Amino acid sequence: MKRRLKTLKIRINVIIRREFTEQDRTKQGSTASAQTCARATIGIDLPTVDDFSKIEQLSPVALAYIGDAVYELYIRTYYLMPPMRVADYHNRVVAQVRAETQAVYVEMLQPHFTASEKEILRRGRNAAGGKPRRLSGKIYQQATSLETLIGYLYLTDPQRLYELLTKLELK
C-alpha cells in the first residue's frame, strides 16, 4: 500500500508540477530529465521549451479543455485520502468541479491573481460560448475563465498553478 501511494505521489507531482526534485530522481535510480521521468511514469511527453512559444497561439477554449482535466485530477487527488467508497469520492469531487463552485473560487482567488493572469481570465470568460440550461451565463463564464487559467498555468508555470490551487478552501 505504501509503495502504491508513493508511486501515486510521484505521478501527481509530474502531472501538477511537471518536475522532479533531485531527491525524487535519485530515488528512481537515475538523473534523467523531467521529460524522461514523465514519459516513464505516466507515459506521455510533456511540452518542451520550444513548444511554449506555441501556447500563446492556443485558443482559450483549448486552454479550458486541458484546465478542466488538470483541475479535476487535482480535486480527485485531494480527496483520495482517507479511503472511502467510490460513491463518496464521486460526490465530493462533483461538488468541487461544478461550475458554481468554480465561480466562487474565481472570486475568492481574485486578490491573488497577477495582471497577466487576470488577462487570461478575461480571455477565457469572453470565449465561453453556449451555456448549459441549468446555469446563468455569468457563472458559466467564470468557471470557464478559471479552467482557462488553470490550463494556461499548467502549460507555462506549474509552480504558480500549484500555488493558486493550494489557496483553494476545499471542504
pLDDT tens, position by position, 13-58: 555 544 444 444 444 443 344 444 444 444 556 555 456 678 888 8
What is the gyration radius of the CA atoms in the chain, in angstroms? 17
Amino acid at 79: Y
Residue 88 bears catalytic tag? no
Span 152-160, average pLDDT: 93
Could you give the C-alpha distances from 50 to 37, 54, 66, 127, in angstroms and in order? 19, 8, 19, 26
In this structure, of 6-10, 35-39, 129-133, the range with the lowest mean pLDDT score is 35-39
pTM of the complete model: 0.72
- Per-residue pLDDT, averaged over 130-142, amounts to 83
C-alpha grid cell for residue 54?
506555441
pLDDT tens digits, 104-120: 999 999 999 999 999 99
Higher pLDDT, 9 or 158: 158
156: Cα separation from own chain's centroid: 12
Catalytic residue among 24, 68, 88, 157: 68
